[in-house]
Amino acid sequence: MKRLRSFWNKSVFIKALKSQKGLIAGAALCMIGQTALVLLQPWPIRAMIDHIVTYTDHSGHYIDRYSLTEFVIASIRGLIGQSHIQFLFKNIGLLALIYIANALLLFLQNITLARVGQNITLDLRKKLFNHLICMPHSFFEKSQTGDLTSRITHDTADTQAMLESVLTVLVRSIPTIIGIIIITFTMDRIYASTFLMVIPVIYMANLQLSRRTKKALKEQRRVEGVLSSTVQEAFSYHKAVVCLSLEDDLVEDVTERGRLSAERGVQAGRYQGILSATMDLTMGITSLFILFVGVLRIIHGCLTVGQLMVFLSYLNNLFKPIREVSKFASRWAKSTAALERIEELFSLTPARMQVNEDSGAFMAPRFRGYIRFHNVTFGYDPSRPVLKDLNIAISAGEKVALVGDSGSGKSTILQLLMRLYDPNEGMITIDGQDIRKFSLNSLRSQMAVVLQDSYIFRMSIKENIAIAKPGATEEEVVAAAQAAGAHEFIMKLPNQYDTILGEGGSGLSGGQKRRLAIARAFLRNAPIVLLDEPTVGLDASTERQVMEALARLTGNRTTIMVTHQLHTVVDFDRIIVLSAGKVVESGKHQDLLAQKGLYYRLWQAGQSKDSHHSPEAMMAIGAQKVSPLSP
Ligand SMILES: Nc1ncnc2c1ncn2[C@@H]1O[C@H](COP(=O)(O)OP(=O)(O)OP(=O)(O)O)[C@@H](O)[C@H]1O
């Protein structure tokens, strides 16, 4: 009960439902109306039949008396004047009204349910995406993107079925079945008992066959899921497929899975065929049974012919609600499974993932760029700190390199500065103000970031650059590309700035992608520049071009660059050397080399890869010429 109450109060789905209560009530009213009409429907028929049986001569003598014209005239007279066939018009009119009202209610119910379903799906998708996109990167590293996508697209849509089946069963099917039972019992208790016997027969036949059909369909979907992953993988890794000559194997694999899927499809089709044939047969046999017992009841004088018609009509109307009830369990299971998968994601908000904006957060003023880490301790898992009691001060306009062993916490420092995470202890300030006081947007928009992966989206070059500054003009985009040294290669592309880039920037070289990222950073015109391995993986000449562009970008902005390529930062104002989350050395390149500590060893290790930059040689020639990032 407690769990249910907590679900009721906290569930995102229930909240979405509550926001649609007006429309849901509307759909429920339509269903209630339909239930009443289904129960009413046989009564005019009963009235007509009993009237005919009681008052009409059905010996057959009069059949030849009327010609067609006389028949039409007599009917019209009956309609306009007092006549014994008035009852016919009255009841047929009533039936017509029932059918029209039923059609109208069905139409209203369908459009209302479609609207509610779509609103709920939209609401869930929006909230879920919003929730997930704010998760830290580590979450996506651990999750399967395909699974997350499926939860946002399919599971949110499956919850629609839940609402529809609950409403249908509670408001239409069960009340219809109960209504029919009550009415038939008030008419003829004995006959109604035989009538009651057929309900479990229809229910069980339906349940058994739907289960088997569902199982076959589920198996088919599973095989198709594997098939689509294989196809997706083959297309995504097409280059590897060609290089490893995997085409024939893949064709065989896809054909085999396709064959399995087709087999399951045929099996499901067979069950569906058996299901509908069995349902038709059950319906026929139960109708015969009801007819047989009904005629006996008439012969015994316990029932009128009209009442028998009511029973037969109700029997006909019983099949649909029973079918709906028997399908309910499986629909409910499917929808609740989808809902659980959605709620599971919403519940993923451990404290360490939360970077909340203070209620009193304000727009940060334009930064000068004085950054300080005050006794910062942080761990992705707080019990295992990555940074320990870290103190760093970076003056406005200073260029600082963060170097050190792999895993020493360099990139984490940048992430804390961008507030992707908050320190477990200590504080980070910019221009003397705790960064938690600023609104996240005003903080992050004052940082230009260039990472080793340039994150090129599937859109035009122009749009790819302009995302750094919403509303940027074409002139601004071109100026940023020029400053980043990207303009020349862009102009050589077939559609220049309008060239649509492939997924992940396919079609561009690593250096070109990096320059697009720098163009974005230029456009942002931020006082703080954060660079995380911006030249990794580039050849010497491309690296030089990228470093030249970066030198223009950093200008007199506060710059923090994380790198393992020490020769790119030799002329930085300061190099901070980290080891196991602590600052172990700090100073200029030459001084650090002279200390012969960790930096010296890292430098040496780097030089063994590139003999041109031996420490001695560097000390001799001076760093100034090596790095284009010289002020
Ligand atoms: N999202 C994360 N979740 C959990 N642990 C993480 C996460 N990101 C990094 N770490 C861990 O934190 C430590 C520091 O990582 P960080 O990326 O800051 O180091 P780094 O010095 O930049 O390393 P590298 O030079 O290899 O890029 C590493 O042990 C890493 O495994």
Q: Architecture of 11-188 per CATH?
A: Up-down Bundle (1.20)
* Ligand 1 mean position, distance from CA 473 (Å): 38
Q: Supply the pLDDT for residue 294.
A: 87
600 close to ligand 1 (CB < 6 Angstrom): no
* Ligand 1 mean position, distance from CA 509 (Å): 27
261 close to ligand 1 (CB < 6 Angstrom): no
Sheet containing strand 433-434, strands side by side: 387-394, 371-378, 425-430, 433-434
412 close to ligand 1 (CB < 6 Angstrom): yes
Which stretches in the chain have pLDDT values below 70?
Answer: 1-10, 56-66, 71, 74-75, 77-85, 136-138, 141, 349-357, 454, 503-506, 537, 608-631
* Ligand 1 mean position, distance from CA 407 (Å): 5
Q: Which atom of ligand 1 is nearest to the CA of 404?
A: 21
* Ligand 1 mean position, distance from CA 63 (Å): 97
Q: Supply the pLDDT for residue 583.
A: 92
> In terms of C-beta distances under 8 Å and separation of at least 24 residues, what long-range contacts does 592-596 make, across chains too?
593/618, 593/619, 594/619
581 close to ligand 1 (CB < 6 Angstrom): no
Dihedral in degrees, nearest 10, Cα atoms 155, 160, 165, 166: 100
411 close to ligand 1 (CB < 6 Angstrom): yes
Question: Residue 215's closest CA among 330, 295, 100, 360?
Answer: 330
- Pick the residue whose CA is nearest to atom 4 on ligand 1: 380
557 close to ligand 1 (CB < 6 Angstrom): no
Q: What is the pTM of this model?
A: 0.59
382 close to ligand 1 (CB < 6 Angstrom): no
Q: Supply the pLDDT for residue 629.
A: 41
- Pick the residue whose CA is nearest to atom 1 on ligand 1: 138
Q: Supply the pLDDT for residue 349.
A: 64
Question: pLDDT tens-digit profile of 466-517?
Answer: 888 878 888 888 888 888 888 888 898 888 888 887 766 667 777 788 888 8
409 close to ligand 1 (CB < 6 Angstrom): yes
CA distance 477 to 498: 12
Q: Supply the pLDDT for residue 351.
A: 42
Q: Supply the pLDDT for residue 372.
A: 95
Q: Supply the pLDDT for residue 574.
A: 94
410 close to ligand 1 (CB < 6 Angstrom): yes
> In the chain, where are the structural domains located?
11-188, 189-302
Rg (CA), the chain: 38
385 close to ligand 1 (CB < 6 Angstrom): no
Helix, strand, coil percent values for the chain (each to nearest 5)? 70, 10, 25
Q: Which atom of ligand 1 is nearest to the CA of 402?
A: 21
- Pick the residue whose CA is nearest to atom 5 on ligand 1: 380
DSSP per-residue letters across 593-612? HHHTSHHHHHHHHHHHH-GG
> In terms of C-beta distances under 8 Å and separation of at least 24 residues, what long-range contacts does 209-216 make, across chains too?
209/271, 209/274, 209/275, 209/278, 209/279, 210/275, 210/326, 210/327, 210/330, 211/330, 212/271, 213/268, 213/271, 213/272, 213/275, 214/330, 216/264, 216/267, 216/268, 216/271
139 close to ligand 1 (CB < 6 Angstrom): no
Q: Which atom of ligand 1 is nearest to the CA of 533?
A: 27
407 close to ligand 1 (CB < 6 Angstrom): yes
159 close to ligand 1 (CB < 6 Angstrom): no
Give exposure, 351-377, as e/b (b: 16+ Cβ within 10 Å).
ebeeeeeeeebeebeebebbbbbbebb
Residue 131 token pair:
């929730």
* Ligand 1 mean position, distance from CA 592 (Å): 24
Q: Output the CA–CA distances (angstroms, integers) from residue 605 to 93, 544, 576, in the order listed.
A: 97, 21, 18
Question: pLDDT tens-digit profile of 548-583?
Answer: 878 887 888 899 999 988 888 888 899 999 998 999
Pick from 408, 418, 584 the residue to mutate for probing ligand 1's pocket: most ligand atoms within 8 Å of its CB: 408
